[in-house]
Structure 1
Amino acid sequence: MIKIQNLSMIYGKEPLFEDVNLIIKKGEKIALIGQNGTGKTTFIKCISGEVDFEGKVEILGTMRISMMEQEKNFSKTNSNFSEYLEEKRELYKEKVAQIESKLSEPSLYENQQELDRVIQQHETILGGSKEKIEEVKLKKILREVETDMASYTNKIKNLSGGQKTKLRIAECLAKEADLYILDEPTNHLDIETTQWLEQWVSKSNATFILVSHDRQFLKNTVNKFLEIENKKMVCYNGNYETYLKSRNAHIEKLRKDYREVNKKRKQLLESAAEKRRWAVSGSRDSRHRKMAERMERQAAELPEVFDPDKFTQEFRIDFESALRAGSTIFDAHNINKSFGDKIIFQKCTFEVERGEKIGVVGLNGTGKSTLIKLLYQMEASDSGTIKIGNNARIGYFDQELADIDTNQTVEEFLIAEFGDLAEHKMVGLAIRYGINRESFPNKLKTLSGGEKSRINLVRLMVRKYNVLLFDEPTNNLDIELIRSLEKALQDYRGTIVFISHDRYFIDKVAEKIISIENNKIKVLKGNYSENF
């Protein structure tokens, strides 16, 4: 069991979250959710002892913690997986040695608060099982998720997104732990492996904290929700459906409280202002002034109730284009594509008609992204033809911004893309979709996955394409923004072809499925649940 008391984390001058008090019990399967930038990853780092914080995280009894490596750290690794594991063992030993060196300093024992913090950090790290990876178990997991040994020996930075995620999951689960912390474990992960992970989590007796935006994954695994809301932690017990009902009731109560408190404050201040006018014009100025002061004190003493609409806002996404494309958008005939000796597509023929909304599914490495790039003409087929229909204006969403220069700053990119907009409109549009003004001097390549995705969405909205190609659009987006994207795509009258491993999202948007298997493309009517 873990007991958390008055946990706060300051980022710059502002708190990310404050005064968090909760108990994590044995066997709980917990979803940690919240909008991008609210501090989810920072919170789990507090629990695992990786960052300093205010407050107390107390591990009661023995609890070994295994935390999944962060995607942005892992993806840039220049080592192969075996070398990476050895490097982490050495780093773990160094960290333990540093803390034990601190504990040997006499001056530490003169400051009880600092001593408690260092002891707590020492206990958390020793319980982390960071060097105790079972090689046999690790390789068994990699076989179960169909990862070949090339992923084990090739440099990590050269692997696909799906391969990297599988390695990160395997590293975390191969440790014998009582608490597993998984940060966005379904990003880039094919549906079959996601289902394998669901079963693993469900069957395990261990405790799990899952940071995820994948609603189907959460529906199938979780019995408790922790949501960071307005710098506070709100707890909801139950499954996903129960969470939605409880959260809606919670938000409605906040709205009611917000309206009532503001109405009362307005009445008091208006009455106080009236009494002050009477004090100036009448003979009982002292009495009226005292009444006004009392009402102003009462207004000031009313509790501050945050407007819930500020953290539950729906983003207004609109991709609509006035230009009508021809009836057939893509006509692909006898497409063949290989990379070296690896065959991707063999004699594939299919059509995409105007207005169709098609989800692309298949195992990692079967060629889903390659298909999108062929349609966008970023890649050429080895043979065969892809004809593009009349008046088709094609927009492409790639989570890594592969089709633009990422060495330019955010501001340079916005000016280049939206230079025809007035500056205040351009800045307002960017800020409305979570691109902070402070990030404008930063290079695009330094942005988080969520920031890159938001920039891409804004770009597609402004350009008003009548054909949209998406490669994993829900990766790195919070649930609120995913809901807004779903609605926008449902309302969109153009043509959509999108890759996603998010079954909930596919069911909401797709009317057809392109399934890629054994180098072939099969077009199926209906959404994901209607076909699999």
Structure 2
Amino acid sequence: PPDTEEYYSYERRVRSILVGLEFSEQDWERRLETFSGGELTRISLGKLFLVDYDLLLLDEPTNHLDLESTEWLVNFLKNYKGALLVVTHDRYLIRNIGNRFWELNGGSLWDFTGTYDKYQSDREIMVKSGLRTRENLLKEIERLDAVAKRYRLWGQEKFIKQAINKEKQRDRLKEQLESVDIPDEEIRPTKFRLPQPDRTGYSVLKIEGLSFGFGNRKLFSSSSAEIHRRTKIGLLGPNGSGKTTLLKIITENLEGYVGEITWGHNVRWGYLSQLTEDLNSSNDVITEIWQMMRGQPDYEVRKYIGRFGFPGDDVFKPISSLSGGERTKLALAKLILSRPNVLVMDEPTNNLDIWSIESLEEVLKEYEGCIILVSHDREFVQNVCDHFLMIDRQKLRFVSSVEEYLRRNQRYVDSAGNEEARLSFQEKRRLSNKKKTILEKLQQLRNEEETLSKDVESAHLKMELYATDYEKLQLLQRNVEQTEGRLLEIIEEREILENDLQELSIMLEEQSRY
């Protein structure tokens, strides 16, 4: 019944989960078909958390979550009373909740117990042992094969019998070789270092009096910051706070702002975007890279591409068929060839597995240029960056660490709620009407996004159909670029509107306590 303590306890749990997963109160009344794919994933996650299961199965639960929501999820799962089976590329989550680790390799299941660090240590020992065993078996197989061939050449009966015995021994060792567990990913892309970047001036980037917004919604108001040579900046803020917008502004991909953006002496920046729209979908992998390595022999081009996880004939894959992770790797390979001394990166770990993330992390840690980075991967940000820039109430502020950012952001949310707690009835009605208007606008954007996405898919199919018609391909490519540009704008507008809804929800939720 709705008037029991059990009912109120359940309601509090529902509200806590929804707020933790970034849903505003207004979202609670929306129909499911109005939500995006990422939002539906979070809804499914929230439904699971309402029941105390004996075993909870989660597949990449941190996808579509920002740092704050990931922190909430970690705390929730740490206190979960049932067993958890989690598939994830998020090391911060694994490190905080895992005490047993299963790894699938070539049809085998490796089982490790202990902490994540112990798993990595034990795994390394196991892999080295397996590699040594395989190497010894291969040498012995080769030796026995050579002996058997030599005996057969001699042609005498007793030597033929010896040859048969050696061949049987060789075949038994081959069977043994097949049972040696060596992880598939041990054949990893060649480790490499980024080229030594050209030296910049001390001041790499100066942002002065930056103001920008969409409509009546301001993201930045007279914001200023300065970034210096060889610093590695982690840009922090909730979803919709303007992180991607700022990167687009400083890389000249977005206009209409007020203020000054000044790059320093001898700066050559390179931009890796979330959508990797710099890739030409009508090319294959090797053609895309060859255009930036003209004059170099084919084997050098293929060797370079191989470092990014495109071995053998994978270099001939059409870009249109690449997975999200492969597109990210190819975009990174292309970016490096431009030899930037400032890397601007928007969610570079999206769609990458743990091994690829760790490899990229090591490369960026050794890089001697400047980095400006946005990522929802907490451990990646903490390991790569040495400075942290927070978007805080339309201002840019430096903080000492991710932990300080989370503390300050939580204090802001709490204080904002308390300051606005005792809203008048008229003010609450005004905010409710504002929510309704935002929801209507969001629905319009979702409809437009769906239509444009279908247009892009249709255009890609036509590009394959007209693969030999250069003029038709050029026209289709221009249309795709224009459409994808509008899709980017829609994503940005939606993030801003969704952030508005979350802020309004917090204010009204605090009011409901009084």
Report the TM-score, using the length of structure 1 for normalisation. 0.66
CA contact (8 A) 1:394 1:467 kept: yes
Offset from partner CA, 1:55-104 (integer Å, 9 cap, x none): xxxxxxxxxxxxxxxxxxxxxxxxxxxxxxxxxxxxxxxxxxxxxxxxxx
Query: In the alignment, is residue 253 of structure 1 matched against residue 129 of structure 2?
Result: yes
Q: 1:415 to 1:320 in 2, by over 3 A?
A: closer
Q: Establish whether residue 311 from structure 1 lines up as the match of residue 185 from structure 2.
A: yes
1:502 to 362, 367, 377: 377
Question: Within 5 Å, which residues of 2 pair with 1:71-150?
Answer: 140-149=16-25
Residue 276 of structure 1 and its aligned partner are, at CA, apart by 3.7
Which residue pairs with 1:215 in the alignment?
A: 91
Give the drift of 1:301.
1.0
1:173 aligns with 2:49: yes
Aligned match of 1:199: 75
Q: In the aligned structure 2, how far is the partner of 1:239 from the partner of 1:497? A: 32
Contact 1:214/1:502, CA 8 A, preserved across alignment: yes
Q: Whole-Å Cα distance in 1 between the matches of residues 295 and 269 of structure 2?
A: 20
1:271 corresponds to which residue? 147
Give the C-alpha shift of residue 207 in structure 1. Answer: 2.9
The alignment of Structure 1 onto Structure 2 pairs a total of residues equal to 391
Amino acid at match of 1:296: E
Higher helix share: 2
User: Are 1:367 and 2:242 matched, yes or no?
Assistant: yes
Match of 1:479 among 344, 354, 363: 354
Structure 2 counterparts to residues 317-466 of structure 1, below 5 A: 317-380=192-255, 382-404=257-279, 406=281, 410=285, 413-414=288-289, 416=291, 421-435=296-310, 437=313, 440=316, 442=318, 444=320, 447-466=322-341
Q: CA RMSD in A?
A: 3.2
Q: Is the 8 A contact 1:337 1:343 kept in 2?
A: yes
Q: Tell me, in whole angstroms, the C-alpha distance in 2 between the residues paired with 1:177 and 1:242.
A: 28
1:313-371 superposed Cα distances (whole Å, 9 cap, x missing partner): 36424332453333322111011111222221111111111211111122222111112
Given the alignment, which residue of 399, 402, 410 partners 1:528?
A: 402
1:225 pairs with 101, 114, 119, which one?
101
Check conservation: 1:507, 1:528, Cα contact below 8 A: yes
Q: CA offset at residue 292 of structure 1?
A: 2.0
Return the letter of the residue paired with 2:220. Answer: F
Is 1:291 aligned to 2:162, yes or no?
yes
The one-letter code sitting in structure 1 at the alignment partner of 2:122 is S
Supply the distance in 2 between the matched residues of 1:340 and 1:407 (Cα, whole angstroms).
36
Matched-pair contact (CA < 8 Å) for 2:105–2:183: no
SS of the residue 2:97 aligns to: coil
Distance 1:370 1:490 in 2: 25
Cross-structure match for 1:82: none
Q: Indicate how the Cα distance of structure 1 residues 420 and 361 shifts in structure 2: closer, same or farther if over 3 A, else same.
A: farther
Task: Could you tell me which runs of 5 or more consecutive residues in structure 2 were left unpaired when the two chains were aligned.
Answer: 1-9, 407-514
SS of the equivalent of 2:402 reads: coil
State the distance in 2 between where 1:472 and 1:156 align: 27
Change (3 A) 1:227 1:268: same
Distance in 2 between residues matched to 1:169 and 1:418, nearest whole Å: 46
TM-fit CA distance, 1:419: 5.4
Measured after TM superposition, the shift of residue 520 of structure 1 is 1.4
Which structure dedicates a bigger proportion of its chain to strand?
Answer: 1
Provide Cα deviations, 1:8-34, integer angstroms capped at 9, x if missing partner. Answer: xxxxxxxxxxxxxxxxxxxxxxxxxxx
1:453 CA displacement:
1.6
How much has 1:489 moved relative to structure 2? 0.8
How much has 1:167 moved relative to structure 2?
Answer: 3.6
Secondary structure of the corresponding residue to residue 220 of structure 1: helix
For the Cα contact (< 8 Å) 1:410–1:441, is it kept in 2? yes
Match of 2:364 in 1: 489
Residues 209, 442 of structure 1: alpha-carbon distance in 2 compared, 3 angstrom cutoff: farther
Shift, 1:503, TM fit: 2.4
Worse-superposed segment, 354-363 or 457-466: 457-466
Using the aligned pairs only, state the percent identity.
28
Contact 1:190 1:363 in 2 (8 A): yes
3-state SS of 2:277 partner: coil
The answer (yes or no) to whether the contact 2:235–2:374 under 8 Å persists in 1 is yes
Deviation at 1:512, TM superposition (A): 0.8
What's the offset of the Cα at 1:160? Answer: 9.8
CA-CA distance at 1:518 after TM superposition: 1.4
Q: Could you tell me which runs of 5 or more consecutive residues in structure 1 were left unpaired when the two chains were aligned.
A: 1-133
- Distance across 2 between alignment mates of 1:415 and 1:155: 46
Q: Tell me the amino acid that sits aligned with residue 68 of structure 2.
A: E
Contact 1:410–1:442 (CA under 8 A) maintained in structure 2: yes
Task: After TM superposition, give the deviation of residue 266 of structure 1 in Å.
Answer: 2.8
